[in-house]
Amino acid sequence: GETITVADLAAKLALKGGDVVKALFKMGVMATITQSVDHDTAALVTEELGHTVVRASENSAEDALLAHVEDSQSDRVTRPPVVTIMGHVDHGKTSLLDYIRRTKVATGEAGGITQHIGAYHVETPKGVISFLDTPGHAAFSQMRARGAKLTDIVVLVVAADDGVMPQTREAVQHAKAAKVPLIVAINKIDKSDADPLRVKNELLAEDVVAEDFGGDTQMVELSAKTGVGVDNLLDSILLQAEVLELKAVPSGRASGVVIESSLDKGRGPVATVLVQQGELKKGDYLVCGVQYGRVRALFDETGSQVEGAGPSIPVQVLGLSGVPDAGDDFVVVEDERLAKDVAQQRDAKRRESRLVAQAGNRMEDIMAQM
């Protein structure tokens, strides 16, 4: 079939060749800038890079392949922030998430019970915020190691009666390494031995400086138990989001990342995904890691069926061929054949690299015994 060199493709997309090579690599395709990739691969990587492919008429040659690559940048609109909560053991991460979920997530008709889907979004009068429900540095690092940039803002929970502890410092380091801005939630201020000032002083040593100390880090005093101050935290998150000018393409073919997945006895493979670009809709064909499928149903965090989900919105997907891994990306493609081909190609590449890695390990074992 038709092919295009990586260099030509990069030129059409007004990107650096290296960026296209990297994106291809992430899809499991090894190619240098002088090598050629086929039609489907070119289309897929184009979409993964945030552009929309518009196919030209059937029988035109290479130029037609990506004839009208629309630069989607101009179609971008403001999207909600995606927030991860981190902090030391027992400082109140789960309590804070629970409080927000209980009071802010409108429950659907399914008995009014909020489902656990690994993420949820809240609608405040000032805007929407999405929370990732996986508090934990391991999950954050793992996502980051896989190249998934999910989080826009880290909320660092520090208990006002305990102060800065080892995992508080670790969280600061993670956020700095990922270049994600921090908001500090000084929690448990309902306690008699709460000392918010001490927390701010201790954070100075970590180079996290409160606004009232002349720095640029928002710090909000609150209690996840009584709820006092929680609205201020939501306001601070939206203020930070405004500064970040978060944008995404609101419609067209969706792409994003898997947050959580499982195999449900009755429903089959279930994946919670965070949509990052476009709109994921019922009936869409998608590649998801090495799995593929057609979206049979979409559910929000209240267990209600939804028709679609746009940027920054988490949604549960039914209809995949198998269970994808957390951190896998997904992308909507034109038809089932392409979805299946790409998934199978990726699967083969993944097996291949696993075999290579295993062979490497065996070599090391043998060397170690010598």
Q: Exactly one of 2, 190, 235, 334 binds ligand GTP (CB under 6 A); which one? A: 190
Q: Exposed, middle or buried, 59 (CB in 10 Å: 0-12/13-18/19+)?
A: exposed
Q: Return the range that interacts with ligand GTP (CB under 6 A); candidates 61-69, 92-100, 106-114, 236-244.
A: 92-100
DSSP-assigned states of every residue in 186-234: EE-TTSTT--HHHHHHHHHTTT--BGGGTSSBEEEE--TTT-TTHHHHH
92 has binding-site annotation: yes
137 has binding-site annotation: yes
- Residue 95's CB is within 10 A of a number of other CB atoms, namely 16
89 contributes a contact to ligand GTP by CB under 6 A: yes
93 contributes a contact to ligand GTP by CB under 6 A: yes
232 contributes a contact to ligand GTP by CB under 6 A: no
259 has binding-site annotation: no
121 has binding-site annotation: no
Asked whether 310 and 250 are in contact (CB, 8 A), the reply is yes
Pick the closer one to ligand GTP by CB: 22 or 169: 169
Pick the closer one to ligand GTP by CB: 166 or 266: 166
Number of residues that bind ligand GTP (CB under 6 A): 15
Interface with Mg ion by CB under 5 A: which residues? 93-94
Q: Is 183 left (phi over 0), alpha (psi -120 to 50) or beta?
A: beta
225 contributes a contact to ligand GTP by CB under 6 A: yes
Strand partners, 274: 257, 314
152 has binding-site annotation: no
Site of tokens 């500064």:
243
191 contributes a contact to ligand GTP by CB under 6 A: yes
What residues between 49 and 88 interact with ligand GTP by CB under 6 A? 87
174 contributes a contact to ligand GTP by CB under 6 A: no
91 has binding-site annotation: yes
Pick the closer one to ligand GTP by CB: 89 or 363: 89
What is the Cα gyration radius of the chain? 23
Helix (H) or strand (E) run with residue 155 in it: strand 153-159
CB of 100 to ligand GTP, least distance (A): 12
Pick the closer one to Mg ion by CB: 77 or 89: 89
CB of 136 to Mg ion, least distance (A): 8
196 contributes a contact to ligand GTP by CB under 6 A: no
SS3 category, 34 = coil
The site partner of 92 among Mg ion, ligand GTP, none (C-beta below 5 to 8 Å per kind) is ligand GTP
Pick the closer one to Mg ion by CB: 32 or 103: 103
Instruction: Determine phi and psi for 3, rounding to 5 degrees.
Output: -135, 165
Q: Terminal CA-to-CA distance of the chain, rounded, Å? A: 50
CB of 228 to ligand GTP, least distance (A): 9
189 has binding-site annotation: yes
94 contributes a contact to ligand GTP by CB under 6 A: yes
Q: Exposed, middle or buried, 30 (CB in 10 Å: 0-12/13-18/19+)?
A: exposed
CB of 94 to Mg ion, least distance (A): 3
22 has binding-site annotation: no
- Using CA atoms, how far residue 65 sits from 60, 286, 334, in Å, is 8, 21, 14
188 has binding-site annotation: yes
| Cβ-proximal residues to 358 (8 Å cutoff; 6+ apart), any chain | none
Cα(150)–Cα(110) distance, rounded to whole angstroms? 29
Pick the closer one to Mg ion by CB: 94 or 232: 94
235 contributes a contact to ligand GTP by CB under 6 A: no
Asked whether 119 and 272 are in contact (CB, 8 A), the reply is yes
Q: Return the range that interacts with ligand GTP (CB under 6 A); candidates 71-79, 142-150, 184-192, 301-309.
A: 184-192
190 has binding-site annotation: yes
Cα(216)–Cα(257) distance, rounded to whole angstroms? 30
List, as residue ranges, the binding site. 87-94, 133-137, 187-190
Residues of this chain that interact with ligand GTP (CB under 6 A) are 87, 89-95, 187-188, 190-191, 223-225
